[in-house]
Amino acid sequence: MARIPTVGLQYAGELIAAFIERAGDRVHGKISIGTVPKGLEPIYVHRQSRSLSQILAELLLDSNNYTANQVFLELGGRRLGGPVSLEKSLEVANDMLAAHGLADAIHLEEGSGISRNNLFTARGLAKVA
Give 94: exposed, middle or buried? Use CB within 10 Å, 0-12, 13-18, 19+: middle
- For residue 14, the enclosing domain spans 1-34
Whether 1 is covered by a domain: the verdict is yes
- Name the pLDDT band for 116 (thresholds 50, 70, 90): very high
Q: Helices 65-80 & 52-61, crossing angle to 10 degrees?
A: 150
pTM assigned to the model: 0.66
Tally of structural domains, the chain: 2
Query: What's the pLDDT score for residue 60?
Result: 87
Whether 1 has a pLDDT exceeding 50, the answer reads: no
Whether 42 is covered by a domain: the verdict is no
Give 18: exposed, middle or buried? Use CB within 10 Å, 0-12, 13-18, 19+: exposed
Indicate whether 57 and 29 sit together in one domain.
Answer: no
Indicate whether 14 and 73 sit together in one domain.
Answer: no
Query: What's the pLDDT score for residue 83?
Result: 83
Cβ atoms within 10 Å of 117's Cβ, excluding its own: 8
Indicate whether 8 and 57 sit together in one domain.
Answer: no
Tell me the pLDDT tens digit for each residue of 21-59.
Answer: 999 999 888 888 878 788 888 777 778 889 989 999 999
Whether 3 has a pLDDT exceeding 70, the answer reads: no
